[in-house]
Amino acid sequence: MQTRVAIQGQQASFHDIAARRFLGADVKIVNCETFEATFAALASGKADKIVVALENSLFGSINQTYDLLLKYKFWIAGELYLHIKQCLIGLPGTKLSDITEVYSQLPALAQCETFLDTKLPHAKRIEQHDTAASVAVVKAWNDPHKVAIASAEAAQLHGLKVLAQEIETYKHNYTRFVLIEKTKSVSKSANKTSMVITTDHKPGALYSALGVFAGSQMNLTKLQSRPIMGKAWHYLFYLDVDAAVETVEFKAVLKSLKKQGCQVTILGSYQAGRETQ
């Protein structure tokens, strides 16, 4: 049976590209307009898995994804770092001097700010919910004054032209995508764990908790604070650790954290991803 994967966005969006990198070109994509809708699709059984962006190398964490992981209590089963190459896309024959409006998702517009400031300073930037969807809209309008920012795959899908490629300001631009499943599964190749801890609200509590990892020679690759809803100025902490959850060493760390009064939630344990083109 074909695996159904929910993503935020349309065909040829970066989420779509990441999903096919994870699971193959023939995977069945369940397109959703929002991150919340992707999680709801998995919860309702409309999808078997989710592929969702977790953070970008330039703009940091996507907090909504972290919040949804806690809300739905799903499991991170893998990660992938996708090189994001943005293209300016329009009708064949469109010249830069013709352009008055640029459509794309807000992060994509921000990633291409220098290009837009220097090459299209008078063009209005208009936010869309998805990069690939902005290409579909430009095609439907059939107006040479309107262009989109999206992947080269989106231009090819909709039969439009790449007017300029790799227009992102910083070329080392990667988005970390994660594969999410409904139930816990830890592969033998797992070497990384994502987790959430909540410490006692007292001086030195976080310092003591982090000391547990240092004392066990475990490398933390991420530490992110998020406010606890309903508790003003109280925080929880998202951590990524270079260790698998099933190891003796990691279990000892969990035991030490709980002795300190920390509440611990494991979000997933999986094989660390590598940057891909």
Q: Cite the active site residues.
A: 175, 177
Q: 35-44 and 63-72 helices cross at what angle (nearest 10)?
A: 20
Task: For residues 175 and 64, give the distance between their C-alpha atoms in angstroms, rounded to a whole number.
Answer: 15
Alpha-carbon span 121 to 157, nearest angstrom: 28
Give the 3-state secondary structure of residue 148: strand
* Cα angle: 59, vertex 64, 70; to 5 degrees: 130
Q: Find the helix or strand (DSSP H, E) in which 255 lies.
A: helix 248-259
Which helix (H) or strand (E) is 14 found in, with range? helix 14-23
Backbone φ and ψ for 44, nearest 5 degrees, come out as -85, -10
β strands within the chain, DSSP E: 4-8, 28-32, 49-56, 60-61, 75-83, 87-90, 101-104, 124-127, 146-150, 161-165, 174-181, 192-198, 220-227, 235-241, 263-270, 275-276
Query: What token pair was written down for 28?
Result: 């069945």
